[in-house]
Amino acid sequence: MAKTVADISTTPAGSKAEQAYRAVKARIVEGTYTPGYRLVLGTIAKDLGFSVVPVREAIRRLEAEGLVTFERNVGATVAGIDPTEYLYTMQTLSIVEGAATALSAPLIDPAAIARARAVNEEMRECLDHFDPVRFTRLNQDFHSVLFEHCPNPHILDLVHRGWNRLASLRSSTFRFVPGRARDSVDEHENLLQLIETGADADTIEKAARRHRATTLDAYLAHTR
């Protein structure tokens, strides 16, 4: 008998570093840890019941993703809604989403188009019931359908990194520019039609870029 009963309870799924990463990230996205919140290694470790080493690794990963800032002997703080940082992130997302859409477009089959359109219609319903949280989630679903056959995983990774950075400003579309969301849904439909009709890559890329850039412009005009 080599294995003991304890093996049943052990959860070899993810390492504790991974669990800590997900846990802290979730708390940031959900808004439990608001921007400016100080993340103390010891405290988080005690809360999660882990040691500080895996928690430290989790924090460093979050730092690399831009969700927290880290300072030696001071600790980590949840990254704030710096307007400049927002601009950088949105501009970068505009570029990588544009590329991802253009690269994926030839590989999107009619069934996927139909699914994306269904998601978009759900988003339209969210407008009436004013459900910003669900709207944001569906927005990601929409683009996920478009990108599911993206031939370049690196670019897809960059898209996800951008989404992560925006995670702490959840449903920012609604919060900052109320009228923007409806335009967004229309732009989605426009994008789908371009893909359906087999528009050339450059046209699709520019449309996808503009989709994100317009949101940024609206934000800039709104806060100016």
Footprint on this chain of a copy of itself (rule: CB under 8 A): 15, 53, 56-57, 60-61, 64, 72, 88-89, 91-92, 95-96, 99, 152-155, 158
Looking at 13-21, 94-102, 106-114, 181-189, which segment touches DNA (CB under 7 A)? 13-21
The pairing of beta strand 38-39 with beta strand 68-71: unpaired
Q: Which of 5, 72, 110, 129 binds DNA (CB under 7 A)?
A: 72
Q: Binding partner of residue 52 among DNA, a copy of itself, none, CB under 5 to 8 Å per kind? A: DNA
Q: Which of 17, 95, 112, 216 binds DNA (CB under 7 A)?
A: 17
| Binding of DNA by 127 (CB under 7 A) | no
Looking at 50-58, 104-112, 123-131, 183-191, which segment touches DNA (CB under 7 A)? 50-58
Within 10 Å of residue 206's Cβ, how many Cβ atoms? 16
Q: Which of 99, 138 has the CB closer to a copy of itself?
A: 99
The least distance separating DNA from the CB of residue 193, rounded to whole angstroms, comes to 47
Q: Which of 25, 120 has the CB closer to a copy of itself?
A: 25
The least distance separating a copy of itself from the CB of residue 117, rounded to whole angstroms, comes to 27
Q: What is the 3-state secondary structure (H, E, C) of the chain?
A: CCCCCHHHHCCCCCCHHHHHHHHHHHHHHHCCCCCCCEECHHHHHHHHCCCHHHHHHHHHHHHHCCCEEEECCCEEEECCCCHHHHHHHHHHHHHHHHHHHHHHHHHCCHHHHHHHHHHHHHHHHHHHHCCHHHHHHHHHHHHHHHHCCCCCHHHHHHHHHHHHHHHCCCCHHHHHCCCHHHHHHHHHHHHHHHHHCCCCHHHHHHHHHHHHHHHHHHHHHHHC
Q: Which of 39, 155 has the CB closer to DNA?
A: 39
- Listed in sequence order, the residues at least 6 apart from 173 whose beta carbon sits closer than 8 Å to its beta carbon are 132, 135, 136, 139, 180, 181, 184, 215
| Binding of DNA by 62 (CB under 7 A) | no
Q: Which of 41, 95 has the CB closer to DNA?
A: 41
The least distance separating a copy of itself from the CB of residue 131, rounded to whole angstroms, comes to 30
| Binding of DNA by 41 (CB under 7 A) | yes
Q: Which of 158, 181 has the CB closer to a copy of itself?
A: 158
CA 86: distance to chain centroid?
13
User: Which residues of this protein are in contact with DNA, per CB under 7 A?
Assistant: 2, 6-7, 10, 12, 15-17, 38-43, 49-54, 56-57, 72-76
